[in-house]
Structure 1
């Protein structure tokens, strides 16, 4: 029985590291699946499949949640989707290169809920800080390390 290569599944609508994902999967012999709505045009390339879903607010998240496996690395900044990925046994990485683990997710979801309540109450909250080259480099290094680690474990 052959083992499927590692796959990186990307919540692609607002992902700033799509090029880094493509580079990492080619270097590591893995594949990538970019999922986005019709509002965003993504181009497939070698080792990178693109799936376009309808524009409803949760379509990409639902599609991703239904295809994730233990051999996948999910790239997302959405903590709700990250929780679903962890429940499916996937590794989860933010576009800034932070790995989200089971021990992190409850606090992150509580923080998201608290901030949403403040915004609904009229309080203006800060958005994320500007995305930097350091974020991009950290992501590339972490993704490559995760892919190599998963490949080494599958060779056992």
Structure 2
């Protein structure tokens, strides 16, 4: 069965994931470093992991696989999800794919290098209403692809 995983710390589209979960009857794991409010229901599980770098990412990466969808803005986690056969989706509605993850990882590394040298970088764009709409469409498409992958594996 397809499972949705949310890298929930600072994720602006949790409510949209819950709506899609209800529509398709899919379980959701909301993974965070601290307690956050989640709607009631048997399909939604809050997982609070220990503090520390990449602890939430590790929890998700160890469980996501073919037929699953991971919602994250974290590019290395998206890469790990793709390697495991899961779909990976940015909260702004951009799917991570085998074709674009290498460029995304390289861009992240360049940004880290520039910041380590004292350069000021612009950071991510502010989240907009169009991003929310694009995310909902992309999540529906990812769920369809993930369900097909689950059937074929």
TM-score normalised by L of structure 2: 0.92
**Which of 20, 24, 31 is equivalent to 1:28?**
24
Paired residues of 1:28 and 1:148 also in contact (CA < 8 A): no
Equivalence for 2:36: 41
Does 1:121 find its partner at 2:121?
no
Equivalence for 1:144: 140
CA offset digits 1:122-152 (Å, max 9, x no partner): 0000011110111001101111222234335
What SS does structure 1 have at the residue aligned with 2:118? coil
CA offset digits 1:100-122 (Å, max 9, x no partner): 10111111111100110100100
TM-score normalised by L of structure 1: 0.90
Cα shift at 1:154: 5.1
Equivalence for 2:61: 65
CA distance, structure 1, for counterparts of residue 61 and residue 149 of structure 2:
23
Equivalence for 1:50: 46
Does 1:96 find its partner at 2:79?
no
Are the structure 2 counterparts of residues 9 and 81 from structure 1 closer, same or farther at C-alpha, using a change threshold of 3 Å? Answer: same
Q: List gaps (5 residues or longer) in structure 2.
A: none
| RMSD value, Cα | 1.6
4+ long deviations beyond 4 Å: 152-156
